[in-house]
Structure 1
Amino acid sequence: MTLRIGRIDYLNIWHVFHLLEGVCPEGPEFGYVPGHPSRLNAALASGDLDISPSSSFEYLLHAEKYELLPGASICAHAEVQSVLFLSPAPLAELPAWLERNPGPVCLTGASATSAALLKVLWSQKWGLPAPRWQEVEPGAGLATGRPFLEIGNIALRHFVHPPQGWHIVDLATEWAAWTGLPFVFAVWIVRRGLSGTAREQLGRLQAHIAAITADLEGHFEALSRLPDLPDWLTSPALLRYWRAMNYDLGPREQAGLALFGECCTRQGLLPGMPGLRWFS
């Protein structure tokens, strides 16, 4: 059988999949399904994927359906560069700007985790009045002229080449300054109820993921010069981005994930913080 693996279409994990496909190539045993986090969330929930790095919020919301791959995540201990809130006014002046310019605050539809994080920071850290939230297509935020959340490669491009007149807030930096903990944007989610054959294949995949993420630094220079990377991103900028990311799910990352779950519960986004169930 073919183990169906979700593949996030973002540079924050492109290099991991590039190396992973070298040892677990597309074929009878392993199949890769690309998509942004929200699309992969839906595919996991419908049973169309067996495992995927996907939104941590998806796990927290539907933990009864899933297991977590131990030790694996996509997280940031300080800046993340690719989960950004862009505002036409500084945060301190944003309530007045919204009063003068009535309308929504826009959320990309690509990530449930990042949308929940913005809502938590908005209320619990920044103490801003509740806005009207509106979901927009990924990449559409800038054209609205409204404050907006963007993620992924589009957000990274805004970070590297800031649009004139916009104030950029890195949400991972805000979380770390507020809590002192890493923020876990994605976890490797395993669909429960896999067959024995699929679980054996997944065990081998897990070992390769662990080996690759433990030795990423040794591959950075060569990977950053590959021709299929975007032309708007220099090699030094890409290396800075990759070095901002972390792929562990150890005690500090688990503490950050648990705190996020508690904050989402206070915000009314979750019914409660679930336990963490591990694939073994």
Structure 2
Amino acid sequence: MNPVVRIGRIDYLNVWPVYYGFDLMGIPHGMTLHTAAPAELNGMLEEGLLDISAISAFAYAKNHKDWMLVPDLGIGCDGRVMSVLLVSTCPLEALNGAALGLSRESASAASLLRFFFWKRGLACMLDTRRVRSPEDLEGLTGGLVIGDAALCGQWREKFPYVYDLAELWKKDTGLPFVFGLWAVRREAVLQRPDALGQALSFLLMSKATGMKAMERICQRAAVEKGLAPETVKDYFTCLDYGLPPSHIRGLVHYFHCMEKMGFIDGAPEPVFLNSHAPGLAAMNFSDSERPVIPMQKCLSGARYQEKAAAGL
């Protein structure tokens, strides 16, 4: 049994507020921090190389029997997201048969793009690859670009059609979209509840600290990423780092869409870890307004929504 709690961090600007406490105060004793693209973190958590990590929503749907979610911690948006883009030389409706490059870095974004093609009856040739600059899509009709590359790249200079996938989802479904979640391996909860509780408490404190320092985070991001300050502020305004009931509804609907497409065997209801679970008393959810119940009675997505709406 590894005594160190291993935590995963996405290597994108969008998680800076969540990990601000780590950046400010350093990594506490008994914890390690591993930074990588979402798809890589998905695999590390699945293989037991991490205990807690930011993960793609799609990865949770595939591994929900082995993972539990941290309440009120996610990366979602109700409309545009600015950092998950389909870029193309022709309109979306004309992409049937087109060859597109598909970023290998996010399972949620890739599955979301496939959903739009499926819904519109489009059959595209998708080549999973590195997509960081327009040159990476040379010879193709377009492709999926995500993360800082989408936010910072000069995509509109080469591609006349640029679609924000979260905005498309909102238009198609009327719902918010949740790209990222934070998950914990169930076996880690059972084997090391005290250490895990301390790590989760620090993670939530880190997020709370970041939420109070957004102006400073925006200033730093503008300098380090070479973006206009107003662009950075606009970007963070798009993002929601909680999981309000509307976002849970969007997440559950996304799971059902993935089930209809045959990508997953059954749409799971999100199950959340609880601060009152045995050994997790050190966790502090004061930043949260969502309900929690004992771990042995894990809260499903549907009941979570009902209780949250009732203010319980």
Identity in percent? 29
Judge conservation of contact 2:101–2:126 (CA < 8 Å) in 1: yes
Structure 1 CA distance for aligned equivalents of residues 155 and 102 of structure 2 = 20
SS at match of 1:172: helix
* Of 171-180 and 199-208, the range deviating more from structure 2: 199-208
Q: What does 1:19-168 correspond to in 2, within 5 Å? A: 19-22=21-24, 25-95=26-96, 98=97, 104-124=99-119, 127-139=120-132, 141-158=136-153, 162-168=156-162
Partner of 1:7: 9
Give the 3 Å change call, closer, same or farther, for CA 240–227 of structure 1 in structure 2.
closer
Q: Post-superposition shift, 1:201?
A: 3.4
- Whichever residue aligns with residue 3 of structure 1, its letter is V
Judge conservation of contact 1:2–1:27 (CA < 8 Å) in 2: no
SS at match of 2:18: helix
Q: Which runs of no fewer than 5 residues in structure 1 stay unpaired? A: none
The question of 1:237 aligning with 2:231 is answered yes
The question of 1:271 aligning with 2:273 is answered no
Give the 3 Å change call, closer, same or farther, for CA 204–89 of structure 1 in structure 2.
same
Residues 46-103 of structure 1: per-residue CA shift (max 9 Å, x gap): 10000111101001011111111111111111110001001111223333xx4xxxx5
Structure 1 CA distance for aligned equivalents of residues 168 and 175 of structure 2 = 11
Judge conservation of contact 2:87–2:159 (CA < 8 Å) in 1: no
TM-score when scaled to structure 2? Answer: 0.79
Structure 2 CA distance for aligned equivalents of residues 28 and 84 of structure 1 = 39
The question of 1:190 aligning with 2:184 is answered yes
SS at match of 2:19: helix
Structure 1 CA distance for aligned equivalents of residues 23 and 195 of structure 2 = 14
Structure 2 CA distance for aligned equivalents of residues 94 and 203 of structure 1 = 48
CA RMSD of aligned residues (A): 2.2
Judge conservation of contact 1:108–1:151 (CA < 8 Å) in 2: yes
Structure 1 CA distance for aligned equivalents of residues 23 and 211 of structure 2 = 18
Q: Which runs of no fewer than 5 residues in structure 2 stay unpaired? A: 275-312
* Of 7-16 and 30-39, the range deviating more from structure 2: 7-16
SS at match of 2:262: coil
Q: Post-superposition shift, 1:182?
A: 1.0
Give the number of equivalent residue pairs. Answer: 270
Q: Post-superposition shift, 1:2?
A: 1.9
Q: Post-superposition shift, 1:212?
A: 4.9
- Whichever residue aligns with residue 16 of structure 2, its letter is W
Partner of 1:224: 218
Partner of 2:293: none
Structure 1 CA distance for aligned equivalents of residues 216 and 55 of structure 2 = 27
SS at match of 2:212: helix
Q: Post-superposition shift, 1:216?
A: 4.6
Structure 2 CA distance for aligned equivalents of residues 154 and 91 of structure 1 = 21
Structure 2 CA distance for aligned equivalents of residues 218 and 164 of structure 1 = 38
Partner of 2:193: 199
Give the 3 Å change call, closer, same or farther, for CA 260–227 of structure 1 in structure 2.
closer
Give the 3 Å change call, closer, same or farther, for CA 198–228 of structure 1 in structure 2.
farther
